[in-house]
Structure 1
Amino acid sequence: MKKVINDSFFSNLFENHKSLVGFDSATTNRLEENRQIIKAESYGVEAYTGINLPNAPQPEYQIQKPLRKYFDKPGFNYTTIAQHPDFINLKYSDELVNQYICSMFIDIKGSTRLSLKYDLPFVYKFKNAVIQACIEVIRSFDGYVHRIMGDAVLGFFGSSNITKEQAILDCMNCAAMLKIVLEQNIQPWLREEKPDFEDIQDFGFRIGCNFGDDHEVLWANYGYGSTGEVSPTGLPVDLAAKLQGLSSKNNSMIGQGILEFFNWPKNFSQVKTRKQDGETIDILHVSPNYVKDGSPLNYMMRELDQKNYLQGLPIPTDIKQNLCNGIVHSNMITLKNRIISPTGEVYDFKK
């Protein structure tokens, strides 16, 4: 089965970095060569500055390479943590800025149980690989990693240079592809490394996605300058973490901000349900149901219908046919969507 990221990626990753103390010189040299090649591909050899990027158990940018190609995003996303370009000037300022953002909150499940079963160096390498995968998939879709909180990662999509609609698409495309990367690469590797690994109990993730418009989100610096953090404030942002907690295991929960602003297609989402007294109960709203001005908020939520959503994404059909229903790959057929602009220019359409 052809995969988005090849089978050897994560196995090679762990085999090359058995020690937590440091890297051998050969490995370090290979990583540095990869960084220079990637930078050269993105900006041209002349633009390479020679600045050394920090070593990491997982080579940076390798996941970005295929994903950005599929979704027609040029170059690579080099932003570091909490480095949203629109708000850098707020770090030493009392300024308050209203600006939209699409939030994604990812939480890893099962790491406590893993700590009871395996040695701590292995648990560290496993957790770090998952977190690094989250970082790279977020950056693959022009997102900004805002914070790492233990087993959780908070990312943002959207800026003053990106439309709100594109930010939402980037967020949801990221959620869909992140599920694929974690399930196709992390879980199989762990099963191979640890024969007693149990899919259901030992590893999982939940994702919460939401959108807050300009009037709903306020950006400012919390704390004191360099001892502070530029962060957004607003109910849609706060609810991203809540939505994550309400998602089913290995799935993504979408908040009302996205559902309403984008008029989200019903066939791309599904209502979460639970059993109660032998009956199936629909869970339509965030719980607890917050109260505003004396009335229940009834904040809507829906889970991403992964298989239906993937059908429309620009992934090669030989990969897509193994991920969703209704797709059959044929080397004899090539389909392309093209758009003609008002000025007569023709270009490929990428979602």
Structure 2
Amino acid sequence: MSKLKGAYGSIEEILKKSFDRERSTSKFFESVQKGNSFSLDSLSSESYQTGLEAASSILNIRSGLPQEQNFGIQESIRKAFGKEGIKESKIGGHPDFDYLADTDALKNGFNVSLFIDIKGSTKLGVTYSAETVFLIKNAIIRAAIETIQAFDGHVHRIMGDAVLAFFRSNKKARNAAIDAINCGTYIVQVMNEVVKPYFEDQGIEDDVGIRIGIDYGEKENVIWGMYGYSGASEVTATSFYVDIAAKLQQRAPKNRVLLGQSIKELLDLPEDILEIRHVQSKGERVKKEFVEPNYLDANGNRINYKQYVLNHEKYIALLPSPATDNILENIKITACLKDNKNAPTKFTYFPCAEVIKKSLGIDFKVNFKLPQQELNTEFFVKFRVKNTGNEAKEAAENSGNHETLVLAQTLDGCNFKAKQWEDTCYLGLHFMYISVLDKNKKVLLGEECFGIYIGDPLLEID
């Protein structure tokens, strides 16, 4: 499954420019080499000032100046997913429940919890100075915070080298779940493509990584309220599913996302993008299907709450990722949401960005470029639909999967286009595979995969 191409640059391109900006101005990182410890006291007066300014540039701790986002990536991420504006919410209680502060009131409200922590951070303190460890951990945490905000998440708490975030995107549960999963995936990609290679360049141990756990609690199973008392309090969510998200984070593989059963069922996520967690035990690879400890319920039965490792490579390939300059290798796909085939476009759908109503249909428009051809040369676009989930399986033979060949149109023998209408029928994450064929049905370009979440976007409105 190849990466979908968009118009905003790859994740690496989006992030690395900002990371390299910090590198180019920083003398501070020059001392972060294996076996070397940084100390401001060891610098001469001139180099002290240079190092201090560089450290301030990275950490944004200049006296009297507001903290700026470390990576400057939020705008790019939001644009790639069709989100408007910039999120600037403060850390603390969720804005939806601020009114509960200094009260004894309790309120039910759904929540998607995302826990992230830094794996291997303790070992850093053995090798590096406290200043250097702070810089390394803060770089990761700040990248995570900005990515959380980019996906409409709310940073609830920072706990040492861990971050807890809540997602309630416009009070829509399925969109909040999608935002949280996309956020976790992007944070992993930041680690893989930008942070990890950058740290390796600086000689920082390869053990440094992250672990992410995500789960969903529906309205009836989550209570919001104020813990403590006035002046020493916090409004937060209490739920089995918040606790499970924390356990998932603790057990997630390095630089991977571990999902709970509840969020998997909410979106009816397909097995295509999920894996069973395994651990090494006594030299053997042991399957861990359930969250541990596997508690007993009130009737003495095992809960058997399932956990799923998100297949990072497969899922990241579905998310908006940008065009390269070599358009000969790319297919540009636009998905226009309409009430019916002949109706005006309601809005453009960005892949895997949100859930769409079953009542809408999708007009897929494809543009691609080939070397100059004779005008009478025929090329075809193959639209291959793969539906997933229980509704599709129960409602239609072969889950309604099908494919259609459409003759591409051109005016200049170089730029081509084609389109295909598809109805939305079943809850779940579904895939449209698009490829370009010649007249002999030989594949020239593709297959590109476009992911679509379908369901009721209005589920859980408070």
* TM-score grouping bracket, smaller chain normalisation: 0.7 to 0.9
Question: Is the counterpart of residue 348 in structure 1 residue 348 in structure 2?
Answer: yes
| Structure 2 CA distance for aligned equivalents of residues 329 and 302 of structure 1 | 36
Match of 1:185 among 182, 190, 194: 194
Determine the structure 1 residue equivalent to 2:297: 292
Give the fraction of aligned pairs with identical amino acids, expressed as a percent.
35
Residues 125 and 279 from structure 1, CA distance in 2 versus in 1: closer, same or farther, beyond 3 angstroms? Answer: closer
Q: CA deviation at 1:4?
A: 4.3
Residues 220 and 344 from structure 1, CA distance in 2 versus in 1: closer, same or farther, beyond 3 angstroms? Answer: same
Residues 16 and 55 from structure 1, CA distance in 2 versus in 1: closer, same or farther, beyond 3 angstroms? Answer: farther
Question: Is the counterpart of residue 273 in structure 1 residue 282 in structure 2?
Answer: no
Residues 332 and 274 from structure 1, CA distance in 2 versus in 1: closer, same or farther, beyond 3 angstroms? Answer: closer
Q: Comparing both structures, which one devotes a greater share of its residues to strand?
A: 2
- Give the paired residue count: 314
Root-mean-square deviation (CA), in Å?
A: 2.8
8 Å contact 2:213–2:250 — kept in the other structure? yes
Amino acid at match of 1:348: T
Match of 1:12 among 17, 21, 36: 21
- Does the residue aligned with 1:102 lie in a helix, a strand or coil? strand
8 Å contact 2:70–2:143 — kept in the other structure? no
Unmatched tracts of structure 1, length 5 or more: 32-51, 320-327
8 Å contact 2:137–2:161 — kept in the other structure? yes
Amino acid at match of 2:171: I
| Structure 2 CA distance for aligned equivalents of residues 17 and 150 of structure 1 | 26
Residues 330 and 348 from structure 1, CA distance in 2 versus in 1: closer, same or farther, beyond 3 angstroms? Answer: farther
Match of 2:222 among 195, 217, 223: 217
Determine the structure 2 residue equivalent to 1:339: 337
Residues 163 and 53 from structure 1, CA distance in 2 versus in 1: closer, same or farther, beyond 3 angstroms? Answer: farther
- Does the residue aligned with 1:303 lie in a helix, a strand or coil? strand
Unmatched tracts of structure 2, length 5 or more: 1-8, 29-39, 41-47, 354-462
| Structure 2 CA distance for aligned equivalents of residues 279 and 332 of structure 1 | 43
Determine the structure 2 residue equivalent to 1:54: 66
Q: Comparing both structures, which one devotes a greater share of its residues to helix?
A: 1
8 Å contact 1:5–1:181 — kept in the other structure? no
- Does the residue aligned with 2:231 lie in a helix, a strand or coil? helix
Amino acid at match of 1:215: E
Amino acid at match of 2:306: M
8 Å contact 1:81–1:144 — kept in the other structure? yes
Match of 1:123 among 121, 133, 142: 133
Amino acid at match of 1:271: I
Determine the structure 2 residue equivalent to 1:230: 235
**What pairs up with 1:169-180 in 2 under 5 angstroms?**
169-180=178-189
Amino acid at match of 1:257: S
Question: Is the counterpart of residue 147 in structure 1 residue 147 in structure 2?
Answer: no
Q: CA deviation at 1:11?
A: 3.8
| Structure 1 CA distance for aligned equivalents of residues 210 and 225 of structure 2 | 30
- Does the residue aligned with 1:292 lie in a helix, a strand or coil? coil
* Alignment TM-score, normalising by the size of structure 2: 0.63
- Does the residue aligned with 1:335 lie in a helix, a strand or coil? strand
Q: CA deviation at 1:182?
A: 1.6
Determine the structure 2 residue equivalent to 1:47: none
